[in-house]
Amino acid sequence: MPKTDSSAQPASNRRSYNSPRRRASAEDTRRAVLDAATELFTTRGWSATGMRDIARRAEVSVETVYATAGTKTDLLLRVIDVALVGDAEPIPVSARAEFLALGIGELADRAGAAADLLTAQFGRVALLERTLAHAAAADPDLAVRQRALHERRRVNFRQAAALVLGREPDPDLVDGLWAVGSPDVYLLLVENSGWTPQRYRDWIADAILRLLGPDPRTAVDTPPRHD
């Protein structure tokens, strides 16, 4: 009867034993690629950043960058998506705690929560959005995808306004909030005018309140005067 090697393990067990390590390695690689792309797209811009540059910064092969993120366009849009929410978890903005905070408290509290959300987002994503704008100016396909990103953000503003108000907002209000709460305005004030993020936060909170108008839940009807 043949002897059995007790040290040998079935192939399925070996795969199971190694798979957590492989998954961790894949996640580390993905994180390194995204971090490298975020840094280079932010500091160098679109034209001066190549996939080989990203591979060198991430310390991986160019083939690994393509396998991890797809094309250069795909990679830029991916890092923008991650920067918008602050992580790579597949949780939409509308389901996150900082977004749901827009429906809590008085109107001023809700406007403040919106200002906190925008300030945090733009601190991560505004420069990447500028890179996207420069790239889209010379790339029709990227321009189409930029417009889709802008429309998705407008939907987010409508959802946010509905949460703050407790009702569906008027389209003009959504457009006003979308315009004021844009990354371009953030960069004009923080980067060009030298504002601190805190000053921007206070300004955008006040701007949101002005656009929203008085809180209908606390407004008191004034009886007509009889002179």
pLDDT digits (tens, 9 = 90+) for 175-200: 999 999 999 999 999 999 999 999 99
Q: Is the pLDDT of residue 225 over 90?
A: no
109, pLDDT greater than 90: yes
Residue 31's CB is within 10 A of a number of other CB atoms, namely: 14
Under 8 Å between Cβ of 131 and 183: no
Span 122-128, mean pLDDT? 96
Between 202 and 223, the higher pLDDT residue: 202
Residues found in the chain: 227
Predicted confidence band of residue 129 (pLDDT cuts 50, 70, 90): very high
* pLDDT given at position 216: 55
Per-residue confidence at 19, pLDDT binned at 50, 70, 90? very low
Domain ranges of the chain: 17-70, 72-213
Q: Which fold has domain 17-70?
A: Arc Repressor Mutant, subunit A (1.10.10)
Is the separation of the CB atoms in 74 and 186 below 8 Å?
no
Mean confidence (pLDDT) of the chain? 86
Looking at residue 11, its pLDDT comes to 45
State the pLDDT at residue 27: 87
More confident residue, 15 or 121: 121
Query: Per residue in 135-164, is it b (16+ CB within 10 Å) or e — as a string?
Result: bbeebeebeebbeebeeebbebbbbbbebb
Note the pLDDT tens digit of each residue in 43-100: 999 999 999 999 999 999 999 999 999 999 999 999 999 999 888 888 888 889 999 9
**DSSP secondary structure of 106-123:** SHHHHHHHHHHHHHHHHH
CB-CB neighbours of 191 under 10 Å = 12
Range 36-46 average pLDDT:
96
Cβ burial of 45 (10 Å; 0-12, 13-18, 19+) is: middle
What's the token pair of residue 139? 């790339």
Closest CA to 173 of 187, 162, 185, 184: 162
